[in-house]
Amino acid sequence: MIIKNSISNPLKMVVSGVILDLDGTLLHTDGIVNDVLKSFLGKYGKQWDGREALRISGKTPYESAAVIIEDYGLPCSSAELMSQISPLFAERWCNIKALPGANRLIKHFSSHRVPIALASNSSRENIESKISFHPGWKDSFSVIIGGDEVTAAKPSPEIFLESAKRLNLEPSSCLVIEDSVPGVAAGKAAGMKVVAVPSLPKKSHLYSSADEVINSLLDFQPQKWGLPPFEDWVENTLPINPWYIGGPVVKGYGRGSKVLGIPTANLSTEGYSDVLSEHPSGVYFGWAGVSTRGIFKMVMSIGWNPFFDNAEKTIEPWLLHDFDDDFYGEDLRLVVVGYIRPEANFPSLESLIAKIQEDGRIAERALDLPLYSKYRNDQYLKQHDA
């Protein structure tokens, strides 16, 4: 996490309202964009390369269309591409999930009467359709503005300046939360505070103009901006909507974590790419069922292990129990019930290990709370019929 504003100047940090971006910030749109572009480009005999995602992130639909036509040398105009692709997107909107922490954030601002605006490069009509599938969202925003309601899209500051005006706030009293590089640029150009929540991994260096870069909305701290703090953390843990993942235990990177006292039973992520991309990297905890052995407390990391800078996003649960032997190949089922912290880098292996040990103690204690212990009996942990 990067904080550029000086703590010694707290008044600079105080805001009265928040302007939120939609796609990639509140909604997990990436998966759908990937699916649609993959099937669309397939028809032209081309293959969608996920790496293009950064080139269209934060762009208007029309700008994105132009980028795709150019990069793939498609024999059509932007308008033609848009008319072919729009229906493919429209039929998927009912399935776009809220990003972890989005509902919590919107409810928090609503209940504390913090005025919020929604400002997206997407058209007003599309914004309305997308949010209609998320109960309570529409009424929580005092202002909603689409890219078609201003003359210049982000990175122009116009959409944010117009949002501030309609919120009756000075730009300097507004905080923008954005996942895209053009969105961050627009917020800064508008003279606002900006928190970046990059939706693409390992790209935080592109967001250096933001006042703070956080890993996911779960890490947002309203009190840093003079707003009411969240009150839902319990003993250093954040309860989340439980989610489930399971499969055979596979070989990990073999870094001798057992030697370090922290064996992690890596899960095969095959068939779980959606679950994996939906959940921000970080340290989570919950319950683990191992087919022949029983149910155990576990704490896990999801992500790229910044200390080792892995190429793949992995899921590595450490079961808080001493086993006599290994269980490679066995079916492992997890119910993930809470969040502890974002993944971090560390100056030494010792400090990484000390932090993981602390995560273990936090999880060990928290899992005895009724709030979390009830999931020990979840049927999913026992169904080893895969």
Residues forming the site for ligand ADP (CB under 6 A): 249, 251-254, 256-258, 263-266, 318-319, 321, 323, 326-328
- Interaction of residue 242 with Mg ion, rule CB under 5 A: no
- Interaction of residue 314 with Mg ion, rule CB under 5 A: no
Q: Which of 21, 52, 212, 378 is catalytic?
A: 21
Closer to Mg ion by Cβ: residue 191 or 252: 252
Rounded to the nearest 5°, which phi and psi values hold at 176? Answer: -100, 135
- Interaction of residue 25 with ligand RBF, rule CB under 6 A: no
Rounded to the nearest 5°, which phi and psi values hold at 3? Answer: -115, 120
* Cα distance between the two ends of the chain: 40
Minimum distance from CB of 258 to ligand ADP (Å)? 4
Which residue, among 224, 190, 363, has the nearest Cα to 286 in the 3D structure?
Answer: 363
Q: Is 219 a catalytic residue?
A: no
Q: Which of 162, 219, 316, 359 is catalytic?
A: 316
Closer to ligand ADP by Cβ: residue 73 or 256: 256
- C-alpha 379/C-alpha 361 separation (Å) is 26
Closer to ligand ADP by Cβ: residue 228 or 329: 329
Q: Is 148 a catalytic residue?
A: no
Q: Which positions ≥6 away from 349 have C-beta within 8 Å?
A: 260, 307
The token pair that represents 242 in the structure block = 């439980």
Q: Is 350 a catalytic residue?
A: no
- C-alpha 384/C-alpha 366 separation (Å) is 26
Q: Which residues, in sequence order, are bridge partners of residue 234?
A: 237
Do residues 40 and 97 make contact, with C-beta atoms less than 8 angstroms apart? no
Contact map string, positions 277 to 316, toward ligand RBF, x by CB under 6 A: ------x---------------xxx---xxxx-------x
76, 80, 85, 91 alpha-carbon torsion, rounded to 10°: -160
Q: Among residue numbers 336 through 375, which ones bind ligand RBF (CB under 6 A)?
A: 343-344, 352, 356, 359
* Binding partner of 251, given ligand ADP, ligand RBF, Mg ion, none, CB within 5-8 angstroms per partner class: ligand ADP
- C-alpha 184/C-alpha 141 separation (Å) is 20
* Site residues for ligand RBF per CB under 6 A: 253, 255, 257, 260, 262, 264, 283, 299-301, 305-308, 316, 318, 343-344, 352, 356, 359
State the catalytic residues: 21, 23, 316
